[in-house]
Amino acid sequence: MIDDIFEAPMPASFPPLFTGEAVSGSTDPFAKACAQAMIGCDAGLLVHSITPDQINAAIVFAPETPLEEAMVAMIACGVGFQNAMGALAPPEVGVHFGWQGEIYVNGGRAGRLRAAAASTAPAQIPDWLVVGLELDLLPQGEGETGEHPNETCLMMEGCGDISPIRLLESWSRHTLVWLNDIENDGPRALHEQWRGLAKGLGEEITFGKETGTFVGIDEAFGLLLKQGADTRLHPLSSLLENGEIA
């Protein structure tokens, strides 16, 4: 079914304020979006690459708030993706997120969100912010089925009929809805939605070199990691990948 989709590629139709740019070959959409942002492209550029086995995409944002507030765009992209899957996938398919951007489909890791920005200073307004999406359509790598029990892909979860380009379109539309909601009413509703989709709440997780209990998030979606009697806050901006996008 996925091969059938690629026999006749369909043009993308993104919502207002988004401009699609398809790339192919070895071009990484995330790196391309960052490069375009650095030279001053318009906000809303959505660079994407679709292959038979994977979707890669990245959106350029032009924040008007300090970085730590602007990072909410990463959360909006995540919840927007879950909403898009909810609209296109079979009803029994569940999508959840790890705090570090992991995307889980029916409990198995199927992709991730990532981010980079012009500045890593939390209190400064960055010139640009890029949020990337990576999603596996088919099993990745070699080996027998079951060798990587914690990993999955859309085909393995009964989502092989979903058109990748239509999924990207739906992702952009739902993300735009959340961005508008944040602008008008603040992040409270998004906060509630994300908590309901968070994987690992109340469980032990590892972030960098630290291991502790994931007890929740603060108002800016920062990680609250409890270690013994202490609870440490890791801001969402600590996920930025600056310096690793080449």
CA geometry: angle at 130 spanning 9 and 235, to 5°? 135
C-beta atoms surrounding 141 within 10 Å: 7
Residue 12: predicted pLDDT? 77
Burial-class residue 76 by CB neighbours within 10 Å (0-12, 13-18, 19+).
buried
CA distance 29 to 167: 16
CA distance 37 to 126: 11
| Two tokens, residue 1 | 């079914």
**H/E segment holding residue 190:** helix 188-197
Contact 100, 113 (CB under 8 A): no
Q: What share of the chain is helix, strand, coil (3-state, %, to 5)?
A: 30, 30, 40
**Domains of the chain, start order:** 2-199 (3.30.930.10)
**Ranges in the chain, pLDDT < 70:** 1-11, 141-148, 243-246
Residue 242: predicted pLDDT? 75
Contact 233, 212 (CB under 8 A): no
Taking CA atoms, 154 is separated from 11, 52, 151, in Å, by: 21, 12, 11
User: Residue 106 region, left (φ>0) first, then alpha (ψ -120 to 50), else beta?
Assistant: left
Residue 25: predicted pLDDT? 81
Residue 180, SS3 per DSSP: helix
Residue 140: predicted pLDDT? 84
What does the H/E/C string look like for 232-245?
Answer: EEECHHHHCCCCCC
Residue 60: predicted pLDDT? 98
| Two tokens, residue 23 | 């790339």
Residue 3: predicted pLDDT? 45
